[in-house]
Chain A
Amino acid sequence: MNIQSLPLLTIITFFPLIGIFIIFFISKKKENLIKVIANIVTALTFLISLTLLLGFDPQAEGMQFVEKVSWIPAIGVQYFMGIDGISLLLILLTTLLTFLATLSSWRVIDHRIKEYYIFMLLLEIGMVGVFTSLDLILFYVFWEVMLVPMYFLIGVWGGERKLYAAIKFFLYTLFGSVLLLLGILALYFYHHAVTGVYTFDALQMMAEGFTIPPKLQFWIFLAFFFGFAIKVPMFPFHTWLPDAHVEAPTAGSVILAGILLKMGTYGFIRFSLPILPDASRKFVPVIVVLSIIAIIYGALVAMMQKDWKSLVAYSSISHMGFVTLGMFALTPIGLQGSIIQQINHGISTGALFLIVGIVYERRHTRLISEYGGLSRIMPVYAAVFAIMMLSSIGLPGLNGFIGEFLILVGTFQVKWWWAAIAASGIILGAAYMLWLYQRVMFGKVTKEENLKMKDLNAREIAYFLPLIFLAFWIGLYPKPFLKVLEKPVNKIVQKVNPDYSQKKPDIIKKLFDHQEREGELPY
């Protein structure tokens, strides 16, 4: 049987709905049953999403697993799904992280369990939907649908300032997304004016022969920029992030950092760059400056944090700065690095939030000063933390290195000093992470309570294992990942930066030849 012909994307997207239905009809007293079902459903979703790999052809041009049905014919909205290498990786990351996050909440969530798992599953539908949809309205629907369960996750199961954090998250992202909607509508009417067809089909918008005048591109890009940049979040739109991340329950933080932030960068890659190439090129300096500020600023603020979780949250801002920097280098290497780095960030920051969650579950405090010398009490925990910390820093052999290296190479090709400044962010990153590790893991055990802390149990180890495995896999043998990304990335660069792809420079040669590079490159 041909896997390509199955409506696999619809199945993956809406599979959690089955779980929601089942849980809806279970009495809320049967807590264990609810937990088991939620875990099974998320695990199954992950397994089903793995079957995408069987049918996926990395050599194929264009979208795969395409499903196209008319949805609101009156205005030309379609139910249009399809994936390429970029979405494939992000979908797998989403289903995996959702499963792990669900597994991690087994004991942490002790009240209103039924609602919790329903929201969790709803969230998964929204996230997977964002990465699969190719119709702009469909994309927007999923994009917003996912806000609601996240709002409730933060607001009901969050920390002390949960009310503030929840509404701030909701308002900020809604503000960005309504402007995104206006951008989509402007695009839609321009497309109609030129071609006479009412459609929200993103592929038609980026088709050859459909060009948008630069001035209109500028405004639409600006509208998209607000939508996506708030989600990433780019400096100076980042202020919702520390609040939301810190106040959210552990699983919520994992998903926020691991997947939600990727939706912004994914939006840039999927829609902004190929649909609005001229404006994207024009915005490069702005975004690069904002990215570099984010890298340095995020790292510096992270260093000052007294709260373990907000340290990780600020480190996210810094890492996402790398992602946007690599993306807007507009070179294949930079873009590939940017996507790999998104995956890495999902893995390592997701894991770091889980790591904070574990001690928080045991001690109910996140202050760094409350801990110290944990490596003696919890050796397995210390090892896991060490691996994930090194992965986040970008130690060669682990995943973070590959992403950051590719981004720096990609950026270097364009302007060497962008890469130079960004590289300093890596050093700062190493500094705050190592310092954190030193403060909580080494030294004497200063607090009595810490002595009684238990090491990781089997369930906890179980959810770290896949992340550790992936960290090593990407770090040691990234080729399969890069191969999947090659085609779509080249296509995007061809569209957004045609000068570059025409010249097809020999990258390695350029790396070692400064003088020559300055004259030749598109900038």
Chain B
Amino acid sequence: MIPIGYYLILSGILFTLGIIAFFIKKDLITMFMSIEIMLNSANLAFIAFSRNLLSINGQIVVFFIITLAAAEACLGLAIILLIFRQRKTIRSEEINLMKG
């Protein structure tokens, strides 16, 4: 059996990658994808813990997360589409009507 530490390290790496990508990428879709990676890293951690601690709760959480992430993705894409239709761009630095 693969020790839990490995899963956690992978989860930590994914989470960090997600955060870094979120801050350095300027494209809304990519930013959104990096958030999904963060969510999945949490999912991974939950499942690993769940298996390790023999507690089913963790897997229940994961189902909820997946469902809600789908809902978020749906809404997120709708918003991005709306932005694109109006401004013909989804680069985050170009969406800056408000300043101050």
**Does a CB–CB distance below 8 Å link A and B in the complex?**
no
Residues of A within 8 A of B (CB): none
Residues of B within 8 A of A (CB): none
